[in-house]
Amino acid sequence: MHPCLTCGACCAHFRVSFHWSEADPEQGGAVPAALTEPLRVHERVMRGTSQKDPRCVALDADIGRYSRCKIHDRRPSVCALVPASLEFGERSAQCDKARLAHGLPLLVEADWAGVVDAEKNPLPEL
């Protein structure tokens, strides 16, 4: 099983801010606008992540036990840019920071045993 499906720490640790157009269907955006709020002039933020103890409104999780994003196929681009540590052979500082903040151990190579490439989250093309 992909380690992110038993984690969710990043969605409950970081502010998720992105360009407003990602939540505007007229601009080709797919993020549900109702799950966002204004941040700055050109940015929106996922509700729940711009506070002292962030937790994305789209997160369905018991951190460290199970996790899923209710809008995974429509999530903001910044979410897709955060790989899990060692998913592609390198550590992810953001993943490590979020896991430690929630008292979870850092991912190790053994956590990826049995996860085939087709189950890994492809890195978006920039």
- Give the chain's domain count: 1
d(CA 118, CA 114): 11
111 is a domain residue? no
51 is a domain residue? yes
Grade residue 108 by pLDDT with cuts at 50, 70 and 90. Answer: very high
126 is a domain residue? no
35 is a domain residue? yes
- Domain residues for the domain of 42 are 3-105
100 is a domain residue? yes
Query: Global pTM?
Result: 0.88
115 is a domain residue? no
124 by Cβ neighbours in 10 Å (0-12 / 13-18 / 19+) ranks as exposed
pLDDT in tens, 10-34: 999 999 999 999 999 988 899 999 9
